[in-house]
Structure 1
Amino acid sequence: MPTTYRRVATRFVPSVALLATLATAACAADTSTPLTGRQKAVQSRSDSVAMKNCAAQCTGDIDGAKYTIKLPQKWNGTLLLYSHGYRFAAPAPPTFSAVETNAQVTSTDSDGSGSDELSQKLLSEGYALAGSSYKSNGWAVGDGVSAGEQLHDKFVSLVGKPNRTYVWGDSLGGLITQIIAEKNPAWVDGAAPMCGAVAGPNYNFDVALDVAFAVKALVDPQLKLTGYSSAEDAAANWTHAEKAVVKAASDISGGGTAKVLFIAALVNAPTATGTYDGHDVTSQVKARVEALLTALAFGTSGRYELEQRVGGDPSQNTDANYPARIDAAENQLISTVGGSVTKLESALASLPRVSADTAARTAIEKLGDTTGQLSAPTVTLHTEADPLVLVQNESVLAARTRVAGRSGQLVQLFIAPPATFSESTGAPYGAGHCNFSMGQRLGLISVLDNWVRRSAYPVQSGLVSAIGDGYAPVFAPGPWPGDEKG
C-alpha cells in the first residue's frame, strides 16, 4: 500500500444477469486465434499427466525453509502451491503457543504430512500439493514470497512442469499468495487468497494501532504503544491490557461497556466471532472484546517483531478522523449502555497522536504489498465477521484492481455465519478468522479450476452450488475504517 492514502469505495457486486452475460460473452469469444503452448496445457482436459516421483526429496529444506510435496496416484496436471498464515516469532498472546516451523500443504494440514481430510480429498481429485514454511516467522512477507517461488521451481525440477499452477493461502499467506501471483504471470494460472491481509501492511497495522491507541486513552493508560524492549515486554503489555478491557466490558454503570463498544466502532470490529454469535447486546459486547484482544495481540507482540524487522514503528494515526468513524447506529448503541460519544471522543483527543518512523513505513512496504495488477483469474474467500483480518481488506483489493483496470480477473466470495450458534461449539463457518468449512475450501478450488481450465466465469448459480451453505451472494464489505485519510 502506498503511504499516500486514497478513498476506498464499497465493493461493486455484479448482478446475476451481468455475470451471466459475462460468462456468455467469454464462451462466445473468437476462437480462431491459435492457442499458445501454455494455453493448450492450461486448458488440457487430461486427468492423467506424467510425473516423476520425488520420493525422499518430496520433503526437505530450501534456504532455511522446510518444504513438503504430496503427489496423487494419478495427476490432473495441476499444482496447488500453499502459503501458510502468520506465525509469531515467539510465544505470544492470546494462546502463547509454541513457535511453529513446519511446512503445510493445505489450510488444515498441521504437520506437512497431508494426512488431514482436506489434503486427502484434493489428492484424491488428482491435485499435487506443495507448501513451505518461511525462513523466519513474524511479518515474513518477503520470505514467504521467496519460499513459494523457490518451491515452485523445486517442484518443476523434481516432479515435472505442471499444466497449470494455482497459488492459495490463508491470512498473511493470502497476502503472500496475491503477491506471488502478481509477480509471476509466467507460471501462475490462478490465485485463491483466503481471509487474506490483501490491503497490505500499513492498512492492517494502522488499524491495530487505532485499537491500542483507544485502549490506552480510555481503558489502560499504562499500555505502551510502540518501542517494546523485548518480546516479553510486548506480551506483558497485552496481558495488562487484556485484564483492563475485560473488566471495563462488564462495567455498565461505570461506563466501561460503552468504552469497549466505542473502541470497537472505531475499527469496525465485527459483532460476531467464532465464539459469539452477536444475537443480542451481551453477545455483541463479548464478541467485540474478543476482537479487540485479538487485534491487540498484533498491536503488541506482532508490532514488536515488525519493529525489529523494519527498524522502527511504521504505523501512524496522525491523520485519523476518529469522530467520523462513529455512525448513527453505533452512537445509539453506545448511548443505550449509558455512554456519551462526545465525551469519549474528547478523552480520545487528549492523547497525543503517533507518528510513524518514515524509513520504517517505507521498509514495510518494500517487504511486499498488493497492486491490483491481476494477470490470472483470482477468487478470494473471506468470512463476513473476521476479528483479525478485517473483511474490508477485500474492499481495498477491489479498489486497487479497478484502478489497474483488472476487475474482470477478480471474483470475491463471502461466507456468512448462521444467525445463531452455541458458544460451546462455536461458529461452523462465517465468523472468526479463516473459519471456513472443508466444503467451502474445496468449492473455492473447484470454482477457480473451472474458470481457469474451462473458461467458465463464475456465475451465481454455480457459486451457490460449489460453495454451499454460508455463501453470501449479496454481501459487500464497506470501506476501510478510516477512509477519511483519502
Structure 2
Amino acid sequence: MINRATRAVTVLSATALALALALAPAASGQARPISVTGVHPSGATYAIEVPRDWNGTLLTFSPGYGQGAGPQHLPADLGGEPAARNWLLAHGYALAGTRPYGDGWAVAETLRGSADTLAEFADVAGTPATTLAWGGSMGGAVAAGLAERRPDLIDGALPYCASVAGPVAMLNQSLDAAFVFKTLLAPGDDAVKLVRLASAEEETRSTTAARAALDAAQRTPAGRARIALAASFAQVSTWSVTGTPEPAARDWAAQEAQEYAAFMATVFSPRYPLEQRAGGNFSWNTGVDYRRGLRESGRMEQVRALYAGAGLNLDADLSALAAVPRVSADPGAVTYMEDYFTPRGAVGVPVLTMHERGDNYPTVTQARTYSDVVRRAGKGAMLRQVFVDRPGHCRYTGAEFVAAVQTLRTRVTTGRWTDAGAHQLGELAARLAAEDPALGAAEFIHYSPGRFLRPHVPR
C-alpha cells in the first residue's frame, strides 16, 4: 500500500513506484496490482485499486452526505458494496474513490476532489480506456454533476439512490411538508423552526420539538390524518420500513404508519449546515397551492379516508394552510445550491440511474423530475433509469450493482442502450448471482414514479 501526505509533495515517487510495479513481471506473466491511498492538497482523501489484469475501465466513486474526510483524513471509499467490489476487481475493473475534506453537502469539494483523483490515477496507472463515475445519495448528485460539468473526465455516470432533483427541489419538498405539519400540528410551538436556523443547537431543539409533536399526533386519529396530509407533500413513501411487507393498496392505516416512521428523517432532514454552506435560506413556498399539490400527490384518496375516519374537515385544513404567511428564499443561497448542484439536464455522457421504489432520502419521485429535465434539454437518448422493488436507501445487492455497471459500460463501448430494461438487468443479475452467490439476488422491476411536486430547474 502506498500512502502519501499530499499528492503535490510526493507524486513523482509514487508514480515511479506504481509504474515500476506495473511493469515488473508477476509470476503469471501479468502486471502486478496497484494499491494507492493519499491526501490531496485540498485535504480530500483518495484511494486507488488497480487489479493485476486491468480491463481498462475505471469506476470513480463519490460518497454521500456527511461523509467528509475531516481533519482526521478518513480514508476514501471505493463504492458499491463488498461483494460488488470484490467481483469488479476480480474481473479486471479498477476502482478509485474520493472523500472530500468538507462535510455536509460537500458537492463543490467532491467535484474538485474527483478531478484530482482522476489526475492521480492517470499518474500512477495510466489513462483508462473508459471512466465511469458512480456515487450514492449526495455522491450520486456528484456523478450527475460530472456528467454535465466534466464530460471531458468521464465516459458515463451511474448515480444510485441519488439526489438528482437537486438540493433546491429536495428541500422545497421538505419545507412543504414541514409547513403543513407546523401549521396543523404544532401551531403554537415556537421551538419548531422551519428555515433560517441560527445554530446547530437551535436545529436540535427544533427537531426535538417536532418529534414530540409528531409522536403525540400519531396517538390520535386526527393526528394521523394530518400526518398523512403533510407526508403527501413530501411524497413520503407508503412503503418506507425495511424488512416489512408493502401495505395493501387501500390499507390507509398501514400506509400512514410507514409514512410516520419515515417522516422526521424525510421532512426534518438537516437544514442548518446546508444554509450555512449556501449563505442563507434556499427554500420557499410562496405561491404554492396546497390544494393542487394534494390533488397531484397521488395521496388524495388516502388522506380523504383518514380525515373522514377522524371526523375532520379536510377543506377547512386546506383553507387554513392557504391563509398562513409563506416562506421566502434568499436569492444568493438559491444560486449556490443551483451551482452545487442542481441538474440542468445537458448531460455530455450516458447516464444510468438506479433507485429503490421505497426510498425517501431522496424520494423516488426525484427520478421522474431528473428524467423530465434531461429530456427537455434534448438529451433523453443519453439516459436510462432502473428501479429496485424494496424500501430503504442505498441498500442494493452486489448483483444489482454489477448488473448496472456492466449495462452502463456496454452503452459506453457500443454506443447503444441494448439491455437497460428491468427484464434484461434482472436476467443479467441472475446469471451473475448463479456464478457468484455472494452477489445476492436482484429485484429489478418495471416502474414509473409519480411526478415530483416541486421541481426546480435553474434558468
TM range (shorter): 0.7 to 0.9
Residues 354-363 or 326-335, more deviating: 326-335
Structure 2 unaligned spans of 5+: 1-27, 431-441
Aligned 8 A contact 2:225 2:303 in 1: no
C-alpha distance in 2, partners of 1:484/1:410?
A: 19
Q: CA RMSD in A?
A: 2.6
Residue 265 (structure 1) aligned with residue 225 (structure 2): no
The corresponding residue for 1:291 is 262
Q: Does 1:64 align with 2:64?
A: no
What whole-Å deviation, never above 9, does each CA across 1:331-362 have from its counterpart, x for those lacking one?
43333432332122133234311000122112
Q: 1:367 deviation in Å?
A: 2.3
* Structure-1 residue corresponding to 2:214: 245
Distance in 2 of aligned mates of 1:376 and 1:49: 36
Match of residue 349 from structure 2: 376
1:415-430 equivalent positions in 2, closer than 5 A: 415-416=388-389, 430=390
* 1:43-58 → structure 2 map (5 Å cutoff): 54-55=34-35, 57-58=36-37
Q: Amino acid of the residue matched to residue 287 of structure 1?
A: Q
Amino acid at match of 2:219: S
Give yes or no for contact 2:352–2:408 (8 Å, CA) kept in 1: yes
Q: 1:467 to 1:374 in 2, by over 3 A?
A: farther
How far is 1:247 from its partner?
1.9
Using the TM superposition, give the Cα deviation of residue 453 of structure 1 relative to its aligned residue in structure 2, in angstroms. 2.3
- 2:203 aligned partner: 234
Pair 1:89–1:162, CA change in 2 (3 A): closer
AA in 1 matched with 2:54: W
Query: Match of 2:80?
Result: 107
TM-score by length of 2: 0.82
Cα distance between partner residues in 1 of 2:32 and 2:288? 55
- Note closer, same or farther for the CA distance 1:331–1:259 as it changes in structure 2 (3 Å cut): closer
Contact 1:447 1:466 in 2 (8 A): no
Aligned mates of 1:462, 1:250 — CA distance in 2: 46
Q: Verify: 1:208 aligned to 2:167, yes or no.
A: no
Q: In the aligned structure 2, how far is the partner of 1:49 from the partner of 1:208?
A: 57
Return the offset for 1:483. 6.2
Identity of aligned residues (%): 29
- SS of 1:363's partner is helix
**Count, aligned residues:** 404
Instruction: Please state how far the C-alpha of 1:330 moved relative to its aligned partner.
Output: 3.3
Deviation at 1:449, TM superposition (A): 1.6
Instruction: State the SS of the aligned residue for 1:150.
Output: helix
Aligned to 2:186: 220
Q: CA deviation at 1:191?
A: 0.8
Alpha-carbon distance in structure 2 between the residues aligned to 1:336 and 1:153: 61
Equivalent position of 2:428 in the other structure: 466
Trace 1:244-393 onto structure 2 (pairs within 5 A): 244-252=213-221, 255-275=222-242, 276-279=244-247, 280-298=251-269, 302-327=270-295, 328-338=300-310, 339-393=312-366
CA separation of 1:331 and 1:285: change in aligned 2, threshold 3 A: closer
Q: Which has the higher helix share?
A: 2
Matched, 1:86 2:59: no
Q: CA deviation at 1:195?
A: 1.2
Q: 5 Å matches for 1:121-132? A: 121-132=87-98
- After superposition, residues 424-439 of structure 1 pair within 5 angstroms as 430-439=390-399
TM-score of the pair, normalised by structure 1: 0.77
Q: Which residue of 1 aligns with 2:123?
A: 157
Q: Distance in 1 between matches of 2:268 and 2:224?
A: 21
For 1:381 and 1:294, locate their aligned partners in 2 and report how far apart those are by CA, in whole Å. 21
Is the 8 Å Cα contact of residues 68 and 102 (structure 2) preserved in structure 1? yes
Deviations 1:123-182 (A, max 9, x none): 111111111111111111111111111111111111111111000101111111011122
The unaligned stretches of length 5 or more in structure 1 are 1-47, 91-98, 109-115, 417-429
Change in CA separation of 1:379 and 1:88 when aligned onto 2, cut-off 3 Å: closer
Three-state SS of the structure 2 residue aligned to 1:198 is: coil
Q: How far is the alpha carbon of 1:101 from its aligned partner?
A: 4.4
Deviation at 1:314, TM superposition (A): 0.9
The Cα offsets for residues 249-308 of structure 1, whole Å up to 9 and x where unpaired, read as 2211xx10111111111222110113344414343222101222112342xxx2101111
Is 2:137–2:361's contact at 8 Å kept on the other side of the alignment? no
The answer to whether the 8 A contact 1:53-1:159 is kept is: no
What is the alpha-carbon distance in structure 2 between the residues aligned to residue 224 and residue 343 of structure 1? 24
Q: Give the drift of 1:59.
A: 3.4
Using CA pairs under 8 Å that are at least 6 residues apart, name the structure with larger relative contact order, 1 or 2.
1
User: 1:74 aligned to 2:53?
Assistant: yes
Q: Distance in 2 between matches of 1:365 and 1:313?
A: 13
Distance (Å, rounded) in 1 between the aligned partners of 2:107 and 2:396: 23
CA distance in 1 between partners of 2:127 and 2:378 (Å): 31
Distance in 2 separating the partners of 1:49 and 1:168: 32
Kindly indicate whether the alpha-carbon contact (under 8 Å) linking 2:131 and 2:153 is maintained by their aligned counterparts in 1: yes
Check conservation: 1:50, 1:75, Cα contact below 8 A: no
Query: 1:62 Cα shift?
Result: 4.3
Change (3 A) 1:88 1:251: farther
Q: 1:213 is paired with a residue of what secondary structure?
A: helix
